[in-house]
Amino acid sequence: MSDFDLFRISEDHEALREAVREVCENKIAPHAADVDEESRFPQEALDALQSTDFHAPHIAEEYDGVGADALATCIVIEEVARVCASSSLIPAVNKLGTMPLILGASDEIKAKYLPPVARGEAMFSYGLSEAGAGSDTAGMKCKAIEQADGTFLLNGQKSWITNAGVSEYYTVLAVTDPEGERGRNVTAFVVEKSDEGFTFGKPEKKLGIKGSPTRELLFENCSIPGDRMVGAPGEGLKIALRTLDHTRVTIGAQAVGIAQGALDFALGYVKERQQFGKSISQFQGVQFMLADMGMKLEAARQMVYVAAAKSERNDPDLPFFGAAAKCFASDVAMEVTTDAVQLLGGYGYTKDFPVERMMRDAKITQIYEGTNQVQRIVMARQLLKG
């Protein structure tokens, strides 16, 4: 491989993009506005993604998956987000929920829970945040106390859980040693939707990603078998934070997709829209806006792809690059979608056109999987560590 090939996306990755885009344009895009308007789960997208093996592409072949690398997974999420951000949370959250297992679980747990997700029989969500422990994850109050028979009794709640109620499985973080050292007393478990004592709060009414259900997880004397532990006791938070190093890259990819969808639509619109006797694409003020949108979007895409390569290799500087990609790309998505609304003028503010939905959807990418303020803390710490 020549040095120049390092800066070119492989033919396989480009072929993947074409295949995903075709599925998205034909099967997902036609339902995106309806999904948003009705705040309903995008079942059409789930069916389309499962039938083409794009619903959880990251799972290895040994667990019945297609074994897509981190960059390929990002391309899938980016392309789905380009037409429907809510639908892109299907592959993104399947990765988020299963990543703790991939990083830290026993072979038995992986063999039990990864194949059903890979085959499209189940989805997997991730339970870390709580009402009083958002950015301060170590401050969680949810407890899993070991019983005499080796089971764990789970009590507490988790907030803002993506695809809650639809997913069959949940990675849940809970304090297992209330007297132990803060942050080192948390353990990860797999919780099944059918577990007694496990229920859901009402769906949250949200600004964007309305097709992806967000609900509380509620645990009241929920008994969990000891063999559902992910990793060793007390390792939960370490596994959770390592998970986020990898999955923040996928949020960056989602943000890039949302921004690309908005830019694509705005470009088509400004070429058609006539004012003062000519297309508004001929006005320098409009051209400068488009140039900035395109430039920042490409910078964000390159950061995400580099971070994806580092995720695939497990590079030691992934924490910096994952945080940087997520932070930069989500800020760019917010800016590009806002400018797309501006370029459409009064029409941009109406639901007749998709850019207002994209603007609302973009906002969450600056918040979830660690706010962009937290990303800057992560980056600064990595820089100061050298």
pLDDT tens digit string along 88-119? 999 999 999 999 999 999 999 999 999 999 99
CATH of the domain at 172: 2.40.110.10
pLDDT over 90 at 6, yes or no: no
Are residues 134 and 47 located together in one domain of the fold? no
pLDDT over 60 at 1, yes or no: no
> Quick one: pLDDT at residue 112?
98
Which own/partner contact pairs does 317-322 have at CB distance under 8 Å and 24+ positions apart?
Answer: 317/382, 318/245, 318/246, 319/245, 319/378, 319/382, 320/378, 320/379, 320/382, 320/383, 321/249, 322/244, 322/245, 322/246, 322/248, 322/249, 322/252
pLDDT over 70 at 259, yes or no: yes
> Quick one: pLDDT at residue 7?
78
> Would you say 227 and 210 are in contact if contact means Cβ atoms under 8 Å apart?
no
Taking residues 208-237, report their average pLDDT.
98
Taking residues 334-355, report their average pLDDT.
98
Residue 268: burial class (beta carbons within 10 Å; 0-12, 13-18, 19+):
exposed
Are residues 226 and 350 located together in one domain of the fold? no
> How far, CA to CA in Å, does 176 sit from each of 74, 77, 118, 136, 145?
34, 34, 30, 17, 5
Residue 373: burial class (beta carbons within 10 Å; 0-12, 13-18, 19+):
exposed
Segment 116-133, tens digit of pLDDT: 999 999 999 999 999 999
Query: Of the residues 53, 83, 118, which one is the last residue of a structural domain?
Result: 118
Are residues 247 and 355 located together in one domain of the fold? yes
Are residues 255 and 198 located together in one domain of the fold? no
Count H helices, E strands: the chain?
Answer: 11, 10
Are residues 255 and 347 located together in one domain of the fold? yes
pLDDT over 80 at 255, yes or no: yes
For residue 260, the enclosing domain spans 238-385
> Quick one: pLDDT at residue 2?
55
Are residues 160 and 280 located together in one domain of the fold? no
CATH of the domain at 352: 1.20.140.10
> Quick one: pLDDT at residue 293?
99
369 is an active site residue: yes
d(CA 324, CA 301): 12
Structural domains in the chain (count): 3
How many residues does the structure list for the chain?
A: 386
Are residues 245 and 228 located together in one domain of the fold? no
Are residues 166 and 218 located together in one domain of the fold? yes
Are residues 335 and 373 located together in one domain of the fold? yes
> Quick one: pLDDT at residue 375?
98
Query: Percentage of the chain surpassing pLDDT 90?
Result: 98
Segment 18-72, tens digit of pLDDT: 999 999 999 999 999 999 999 999 999 999 999 999 999 999 999 999 999 999 9
Are residues 375 and 289 located together in one domain of the fold? yes
pLDDT over 60 at 245, yes or no: yes
Segment 45-59, tens digit of pLDDT: 999 999 999 999 999
pLDDT over 70 at 229, yes or no: yes
pLDDT over 90 at 155, yes or no: yes
Segment 292-323, tens digit of pLDDT: 999 999 999 999 999 999 999 999 999 999 99
Helix/strand/coil for 195: coil
Are residues 132 and 261 located together in one domain of the fold? no
Query: Of the residues 103, 118, 133, which one is the last residue of a structural domain?
Result: 118
- The chain-wide mean pLDDT, for the chain, equals 97
Instruction: Give the model's confidence band at 5: pLDDT under 50 very low, under 70 low, under 90 confident, else very high.
Output: low
Helix/strand/coil for 217: strand
pLDDT over 90 at 354, yes or no: yes
Query: Of the residues 186, 209, 236, which one is the last residue of a structural domain?
Result: 236
Catalytic residue among 79, 235, 356, 369: 369
pLDDT over 80 at 3, yes or no: no
CATH of the domain at 71: 1.10.540.10
Are residues 302 and 370 located together in one domain of the fold? yes
pLDDT over 60 at 256, yes or no: yes
